[in-house]
């Protein structure tokens, strides 16, 4: 390979490596939600409820002027061995209580013992230090309600932090 060809090849390689692509900082592909779309029964066979989940995309460290960014894994779990549950809404709010995003427009299903996750990337600072989720769900009568948990983690250098939160039924 000639020197000019090598330099051209190296230039193209470096340009490709430097090219950035816009990636979502809340990484659940909308197509994944569309594949889970569910039609709820129209009769009154379902129990409806809502769950609040505290979330933390950032926490304070050292002072109120220094923040530590976290990645959040929000788990939505069907803890039933035989019954499907339905999630009608997954809404993400910031510290001031403003809606950041709704994750799907139509109800989704979770098969028995299935878990789906929403990832809040550590670069997603829209939620702030007091972000939260509000879930609306439906289950057949005498079936366990879904379990909502958040796991938060981050590392900087040799320091790491992780903790979890659990949802509380509010309706």
Residue 99 lies in a domain: yes
pLDDT in tens, 48-88: 999 999 999 888 888 888 888 899 999 999 999 999 999 99
Q: What is the pTM of this model?
A: 0.80
Per-residue model confidence as pLDDT tens digits over 101-151 = 999 889 999 999 999 999 998 888 888 889 999 999 999 999 999 999 999
Residue 48 belongs to a domain: yes
Domain assignment of residue 1, yes or no: no
Classify residue 18: in a domain, yes or no: no
Structural domain containing residue 35: 25-169
Residue 71 in any domain: the answer is yes
- Within a domain: residue 14? no
| 13 within a domain of the structure (yes/no) | no
**From residue 108, how far is each of 37, 63, 64, 81 by CA, in Å?**
4, 41, 39, 18
Single out the residue of 125, 126, 132 nearest to residue 154, CA to CA: 125
Count of structural domains, the chain: 1
**Both structure tokens of 153:** 């983690």
């Amino acid at each position: 390979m000639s020197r000019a060809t090598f330099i051209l090849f190296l230039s193209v390689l470096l340009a490709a490596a430097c090219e950035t692509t816009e990636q979502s900082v809340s990484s659940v592909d909308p197509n994944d939600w569309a594949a889970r779309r569910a039609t709820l029964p129209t009769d009154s066979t379902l129990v409806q409820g809502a769950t609040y989940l505290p979330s933390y995309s950032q926490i304070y460290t050292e002072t109120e002027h220094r923040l530590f960014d976290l990645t959040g894994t929000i788990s939505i779990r069907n803890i039933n061995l035989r019954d499907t549950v339905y999630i009608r809404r997954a809404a993400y709010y910031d510290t001031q209580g403003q809606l950041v995003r709704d994750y799907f427009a139509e109800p989704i299903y979770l098969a028995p013992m299935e878990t789906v996750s929403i990832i809040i990337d550590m670069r997603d600072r829209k939620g702030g230090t007091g972000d939260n989720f509000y879930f609306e769900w439906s289950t057949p009568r005498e079936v366990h309600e879904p379990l909502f948990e958040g796991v938060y983690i981050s590392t900087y250098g040799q320091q790491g932090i992780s903790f979890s939160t659990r949802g509380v039924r509010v309706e």
